[in-house]
Structure 1
Amino acid sequence: MTSQFQTFLTAAMRRPGVIGAVAPSSPGLADLLAAITPSTGSPTVVELGPGTGAVTAAIQRRLPATGSHVAVEIDQAMVRFLKSAHPGVEVVHGDAASLTDLGVKADAVVSGLPWALFQPARQRRILDQIAAVLRPDGAFTTFAYRHAGAMSGARSFHRLLHAVFDEVIVSHTVWRNMPASPDLRVQKAVSCAVA
């Protein structure tokens, strides 16, 4: 078992209502989420809920050397892991619901948060924070578990996306998100744009 997977599994077992997944994102999902990362200029990318860094690595591959990458993680053990595994990333131990406290303006926000597990008020607070830090031409992307679509939290999140953002685009499904059990983690990415 790799140290990345072991760190992830330990955190998920310790705080399942916060982590909300059984394994790190696959390379296919990570690349799809990171696709909104600008590859030129000096962009700022904010990543929410990076876990052990599967998507972090994909963002780093796209981000130009002049860009900055801020990763906000609520789990202290994952913060330590990320700082060690991705020394070029500014890793912040914090809550996405307080995103504006960072004082950054983002060209892109990439989220790995377990939206379906959050109450609607928390979902709205985080989405409002994302909209507040995005530049006018910025983009936000996240993913949802296809099998969780019937959950009240997932339905609420879908409605809130349309309430907060002017444009919501749903991607194709990433069927092979978890190599060992592709049928367990069927996901779609959602990209949103602000006015």
Structure 2
Amino acid sequence: MSAAPAGPRRPVPAGSGIFLREFLRDPVATASCVPSSRALATAALTALPLEGDPLVVELGPGTGAFTDVLAERLGGRGRHLAVELNPRLARLLERRHPGLDVAVAPAADLPALLAERGLGPVDVVVSGLPWAAHPPTSPSLVDVVAGTLTDDGAFAQFGYVWTRRAAPARRLRRHLDAAFHDVVTSPPVLANVPPAFVYTARRPRRG
């Protein structure tokens, strides 16, 4: 009896090998052992303007799963700054995307990084940072990000479905509600491994 044909396989995201190594080095900071999927990147970039020259910031781009889709959609428009704390992942990102402005720095340094480059305010910030990068500090990282955005700017932060009810995720949602007028939660992105969702917060509160 012949074997049944194998079903379609999910594509292996680029950079999976180095991502796994960095996860083993520091699982708290990396949060996942595989890069995000194209499906998750698409869900996280719903706020990206389709026209004009937007200023876009990526926080924690890792091996560049979101960077790839951003580059396609921008098509040379606007300005794209990637902020990556891990120098090994930053070097990989620079090799994969020559000419991309990659800053090796913590996300909390975003206002200073923008000032150094004479940039701002930002149209869209997309974050792949783990919940651990959002400690209960004041001001929160959400406040820092909101302060860099235009009045109608947006902040997209993804997380994994199984962590959504955990205390860090609930705290982040409270920070988003306090810092933005509109916060929308995407449907689960089941094509991602593990399944994920996206918070998209728009229109930062002022004062």
Structures share fold, TM-score greater than 0.5: yes
Identity of aligned residues (%): 37
Name the CA distance, whole Å, in 1 between partners of 2:48 and 2:14: 27
The change in CA–CA distance for 1:3 and 1:192 in structure 2 (over 3 A counts) is closer
Kept after mapping to 1: 8 A contact 2:13/2:35: no
TM-score of the pair, normalised by structure 2: 0.85
Inter-partner Cα distance in structure 1 for 2:13 and 2:125: 28
Q: For residue 188 of structure 1, give the secondary structure of its aligned residue in structure 2.
A: strand
Equivalent residue, structure 1, for 2:129:
113
> Cα RMSD over matched residues?
1.8
Distance in 1 of aligned mates of 2:134 and 2:149: 22
CA positional deviation for 1:40: 1.5
With the length of structure 1 as denominator, give the TM-score of the two structures: 0.90
SS in 2 for 1:166: strand
Residue 163, structure 1, aligned to residue 163, structure 2:
no
Report whether the alignment pairs 1:21 with 2:32: yes
Secondary structure in 1 matching 2:153: strand
For residues 132 and 104 of structure 2, what CA distance do their matches in structure 1 show? Answer: 22
Gap regions ≥5 residues in structure 1: 179-184
Q: Deviations over 1:147-180 (max 9, x none)?
A: 01232111111111111111101111101102xx
- Post-superposition CA distance 1:94-126 (Å, at most 9, x none): 11111101123211000001025642227x521
Write the distance in 2 (CA, Å) between the matches of 1:73 and 1:26.
18
| Distance change in 2, residues 1:136/1:48 (3 Å) | same
Aligned equivalents of 2:47, 2:55: Cα separation in 1 = 11
Structure 1 residue identity aligned to 2:89: M
Deviation at 1:64, TM superposition (A): 4.0
Partner of 1:99 in structure 2? 110
Other-structure match for 1:150: 165
2:146 maps to 1:131: yes
Instruction: Name the counterpart of 2:198.
Output: 189
Q: Say which SS state the counterpart of residue 119 (structure 1) adopts.
A: coil
Shift of 1:13: 1.1
| CA–CA separation in structure 1 for the residues paired with 2:182 and 2:99 | 32
- State the number of aligned residues: 188
Give distance in 1, aligned partners of 2:111 and 2:13: 34
Q: Secondary structure at the match of 1:155?
A: helix
Quote how far apart the aligned CAs of 1:34 are. Answer: 2.1
Taking the aligned partners of 1:84 and 1:167, their CA distance within structure 2 comes to 37
Query: Does the aligned pair in 2 maintain the 1:39–1:64 contact within 8 Å?
Result: no
Q: Which of 41, 57, 61 is matched with 2:52 structurally?
A: 41
Q: How far apart in 2 are the matches of 1:78 and 1:3?
A: 12
Q: Counterpart of 1:182?
A: none
Would you tell me which structure has more helix in proportion to its own residues? 1
Partner of 1:74: 85
Q: What letter matches 1:100 in structure 2?
A: P
Structure-2 separation of matches of 1:2 and 1:62: 19
